[in-house]
Amino acid sequence: MAPGALIGSESPPLAPLPGKLDVVPALYAEVDENDLREKAKAHLAYYGTKFHDDVIIGARGMYLYTASGHRILDWTSGQMSCLLGHGHSEIVKTIHDHAMHLDHLFSGMVCPPVIRLGERLCKALPDGLDKAFFLSTGGESNEAAIKMAKIYTGKWEIVGLGASWHGMTAQALGAQYHFGRKGQGPTIPGQFMLPSPNAYRSQFRKPDGSYDWEAELDYGWRMIDLQSTGNLAACIVECIQSSGGMLVLPPGYLAAMKRHCEARGMLLIVDEAQTGVGRCGDFMAINHEGVVPDILTLSKTLGNGLPLSAVVTSSEIDRVCEEKGFMFYTTHVNDPLPAAVGDKVLEIVFRDDLVRHARAAGKVLHDGLARLMARYGCIGDVRGRGLMAGVEIVASRETKEPALELAKRIGDAAYRLGVWANLSSHPSFGGTFRIAPPITVTAEQIEEGLDMLERAFRETEGTMPLYD
């Protein structure tokens, strides 16, 4: 394979990686990093996270560039969004063309990019996901989906999973149990939680010690039924709970969840913000499970880093919701420019066979992480699918005690060496590295990141090497 070629691809190799001077715009070539930090501290408000010390002044392909001259392999695709990498030339051209000629319209107008995206997306999805509209963020799409489910069913109770993340708007946050619920008074009434399907940590076990997700799920629904007033409208789930630590739904779980919903007259909403558009080795994670939800939501990957999300449902649900007066009319609903980007993203994914590439590249990634686990006793679990992976750090494999401080030191070392993998450090889940590189990543770049990650483990005290 030629260096930089996509796995299994007959297309020519990618261009050589650019150096810093090829990437950093002249506007940011001469910046005072300390001055920028002071201004950020003075004028930028806190929104739930502390800023990293480095100021990022460039992004290209798989890499980020800092004002101090550091090049970082971006193993989280920005905020798990840059599916095709930073600064993809065809995406840049699409943005340029539509910014110049067709950027934004009155929300009741329609245009070719929106029509094309709707057609391309719905034709690629299973029957029963026939109608789509487009918004800006994942939280917004989940908000709309929950409202749609309430309008369609005439009911108002919503079920979510522990460890879930669905957004910052009221109903999406109400169905979210990973973080963000405290300090604001009551959330939306009628919100219930099922246990998170955490195969590594669940207390539900069969006699042989294996994970008994069916008993756990049945138990959870018995608790929901006891609490419900008889108004269960929908259950919203992620096929891989990324923010919760890359927790993968067990085989058969999603089908069982749909049966539970159907038995109660509920809709099933699947949130594919991170799993959708090829990242997990299938076009959608629901394809892997062979389950068609009543409503599908997309965001992040669809816009390659631009704010674009989607709500997709059946023609029948769409018809009933229209008759009942469903309304989610926003300033940026069905905006031309982001829709054009989404359409181009799908075109590239299908044209370049990137779903198959993600599956092959994912094997390289997971094989490498398995080798790391065989070398270091602090790795309690490696999980995920395709180009989504979680590496959980523990103080002991026997007790599974989380090792948050150790995980942070490993993450800091990896960043200094040049690879960024987001650390899910909430105490509920322990320190789990979340890895989701762009699906255009090459085997060579995966091995580059694995080498830096291995060195971070090797050079960090307390990682418990299992070799001499």
Sheet containing strand 419-420, strands side by side:
56-60, 63-66, 71-74, 419-420
Q: pTM, whole model, 2 decimals? A: 0.93
Q: Name which of 4-18, 29-43, 78-92, 112-126 the model is least confident about.
A: 4-18
Distances (CA, A) of 309 to 97, 168, 300, 404: 21, 14, 7, 33
Q: Catalytic pick from 258, 264, 279, 434? A: 434
Q: Could you report the per-residue pLDDT of 333-388, keeping only the tens digit for each? A: 999 999 999 999 999 999 999 999 999 999 999 999 999 999 999 999 999 999 99
Ramachandran angles phi, psi of 173, nearest 5°? -65, -35
Q: Active-site residue 434, yes or no?
A: yes
Q: Catalytic pick from 60, 274, 359, 454? A: 274
Q: Is pLDDT of 69 > 90?
A: no
Q: Active-site residue 22, yes or no?
A: no
Q: Active-site residue 156, yes or no?
A: no
Across 147-174, average pLDDT: 92
Q: What does the mean pLDDT of the chain come to?
A: 91
Distances (CA, A) of 392 to 204, 364, 425, 449: 20, 19, 10, 17
Q: What is the pLDDT confidence band of residue 278, given thresholds at 50, 70 and 90? A: very high
Q: Is pLDDT of 158 > 80?
A: yes
Q: Catalytic pick from 143, 212, 216, 271? A: 271
pLDDT of 45: 93
Q: Catalytic pick from 238, 272, 294, 318? A: 238
DSSP state letter for 90: H
pLDDT of 175: 84
Across 289-314, average pLDDT: 97
Q: Active-site residue 445, yes or no?
A: no
Q: Catalytic pick from 300, 344, 359, 409? A: 300
Q: Could you report the per-residue pLDDT of 86-98, keeping only the tens digit for each? A: 999 999 999 999 9
Q: Catalytic pick from 75, 157, 165, 176? A: 165
Which run of H or of E encompasses 268?
strand 267-271
- What the block records as the tokens of 217 is 């799920």
Q: Could you report the per-residue pLDDT of 2-27, keeping only the tens digit for each? A: 434 555 443 333 333 334 444 555 66
Show the domains of the chain with their CATH numbers: 20-52+62-88+354-459 (3.90.1150.10), 92-351 (3.40.640.10)
Q: Active-site residue 165, yes or no?
A: yes
Q: What ranges make up the beta strands (E) of 293-406?
A: 295-298, 309-313, 379-385, 388-393
Q: Active-site residue 20, yes or no?
A: no
